Amino acid sequence: MASSVKYTLEEARVLDTILHGAIGLTEAMPKWSVILFIYLIVLVMNFFIPSGSAKAFMLIPLIVPIASIFDISAQLYKANCPPVVLVKPPLIASRYAMDFLCGKIKEAIKLM
């Protein structure tokens, strides 16, 4: 699926046209609504392209330029908050492991 999407986008030369149209739509939007617009694009593509690699091939060349034009970081997070990866414990974590993890998170927040 990904190779067929790649072939279609390259041969038809539509990726630049789609990118130009998307940037034209988002020029007058505030930064928060551009993020929602990107989310909407991904949501719509989920219905039409079942392959994850095909979606990535099609969406990354669209999302990265839009995000860089509007100075939107690839890592969206709240200030003074550790990355989500640090706060998602395994489902079978013991009480000791949770206390240890919470202590480390508190230390990391103090260092920020």
| Residues 84, 60 share a domain | no
| Residues 94, 41 share a domain | no
The sign of the dihedral angle between the CA atoms of 35, 38, 44, 47 is negative
Average pLDDT for the chain? 76
| Residues 86, 55 share a domain | no
CB 62 within 8 A of CB 68: no
**Predicted model pTM:** 0.54
| Residues 43, 59 share a domain | yes
Q: Which of 21-30, 53-62, 82-91, 101-110 has the weakest average pLDDT?
A: 82-91
Note down the domain range covering 86: 77-112
| Residues 62, 9 share a domain | yes
pLDDT (0 to 100) of residue 82: 53
| Residues 50, 28 share a domain | yes
The crossing angle, in degrees rounded to 10, of helices 15-26 and 52-69 is: 50
Mean pLDDT of 45-50: 82
Measured distance CA(86)–CA(104) in Å, rounded: 9
pLDDT band at 98 (very low <50, low <70, confident <90, very high): confident
Residues constituting the chain: 112
| Residues 100, 61 share a domain | no
Which residue type occupies 60? I
